[in-house]
Amino acid sequence: MSKLVAPHGGKGLVCALLEGAEREAELKKAAGLKQIEISARAKGDLIMMGIGGFSPLTGFMKKADWKGVCENFQMADGTFWPVPITLDVSAADAGAIKEGDEIALVRGGQTFATMKVEEKFEMTEENKKWECEKVFRGEGEDSIGDKFWQVAMEDHPGVQMVMAQKEFNIAGPVKVLSEGEYPAEYPGIYMRPAEVRAKFEERGWANVAALQLRNPMHRSHEYLAKIAVEVCDGVLIHSLIGNLKPGDIPAKVRIKAIDVLIENHFVKENVISSGYPLDMRYAGPREGLLHATFRQNYGVNNMLIGRDHAGVGDFYGLFEAQEIFDRIPVTGDPAKDLLCKPMKIDWTFYCHECDGMASLRTCPHKKESRVILSGTKLRKALSEGAEVVDHFGRDEVLALLREYYEGLTEKVEVKMQGFASGTKM
């Protein structure tokens, strides 16, 4: 019997992916169904439903689930879930689809799934704004009062994405027919939850931590991972390989940098590098909860949560993504509750007087002695060809990143928020 944490929802890994003859038959049927073009976000969500990453979800959420998730982190049946997983369609498409219809979900000419439509509901501008305020509004300066809407439509990719959604959501179970480009483009990195669990089992791991990465791994990330290695059986360095906002560093570059770091600075038996196919939502605390929820499906029972986890701009409090774990509903039923717990780590940095990595809990020295580390700060320095301060990152990693930036023909301005710059320490 497995010693790993059970998948979320109490039903084991719920996988909607069809394979072999069953998949071929469904693809043939899909060719004759109404075709609905889906977003990149929905594509990632579908793949996660296919491989069991979003267990216990079997499809896109109905209105009662959408409302419950936004309002109190629970689907209609009381199962914890922190972020809506919905599928938007135009008013014209919604009008042409009846409840009970089967449709094909396609993107870029590829069929990703079929879906039985069980419900459709209108998403008015007010509904979209309500969702944004529940999911994306935090406790940071950019979320205060009227400033949220003044800033969010310009600077918050998640809010922009929701407000740009079409007029209706449709809901119902899916049969997933493709994992997209990920198996071919990321061999050995892209793994289904069952495959990651099997690797943990092979190594005899029971107590596992995950490090979420959307930025290149700098010294602070390395330090967080090594703290977890000290107290757990092992660490999963789990990189986002879906879409990011303009200016973020592509997955292939980040993964190459992680490989170099593991090769030179980790005991390899204690760490596994992998990737997952979602797009970033930049939902800060809510996304931290989502990261813990689907990591539980991968066999992880500890989620590393540091400073400004999954944040953007100054929309969220410095450690709001840690604090939110203390406010989520707990029913007492392990099948409905979140079982993956946060590993709450304070602000980390290199301290010249400590002569090593430290945190606010361990370093007694002045701010001037500390090298403030953040992915945003690193990207800004590299994109501008500026010097990267000593002890910010490993030389081998910085060499790879400089090579990437030197090869860019078009550069995106990287905005520096207060937390990333260290001015709010």
The pair of structure tokens assigned to 387 is 């010097």
Among 250, 90, 66, 263, which residue's Cα sits nearest to residue 165? 90
Distance CA 313, CA 152 (A): 9
> What count of Cα atoms within 13 Å lies in the side-chain half-sphere of residue 239?
26
Rounded CA Rg of the chain? 21
Distance CA 284, CA 291 (A): 10
Helix (H) or strand (E) holding 264: helix 251-265
Distance CA 156, CA 140 (A): 13
Q: Is the backbone of residue 145 left (phi > 0), alpha (psi -120 to 50) or beta?
A: left
Distance CA 23, CA 176 (A): 8
- Give me the torsion for CA of 295, 299, 301, 305, rounded to 10°: -30
Helix (H) or strand (E) holding 105: strand 102-107
Instruction: Determine whether 202 is exposed, middle or buried from the number of CB atoms within 10 Å of its CB (0-12, 13-18, 19+).
Output: exposed
Residues in contact with 150: Cβ distance below 8 Å, sequence separation at least 6, in sequence order: none
Q: Which of 214, 254, 307, 370 is catalytic?
A: 214
The pair of structure tokens assigned to 163 is 């407000």
Q: Which amino acid is it at 417?
A: Q
Residue corresponding to tokens 């998949």: 23
Q: How far apart are the first and last CA of the chain?
A: 46
DSSP 280: P
Among 128, 73, 152, 84, which residue's Cα sits nearest to residue 316? 152
Per the annotation, the verdict on 301 as an active-site residue is: no
Q: Which of 127, 169, 215, 297 is catalytic?
A: 215
| Residue 325: C-alpha distances to residues 73, 158, 303, 315, 343 (Å) | 11, 21, 11, 18, 10
Enumerate the active-site residues.
214-215
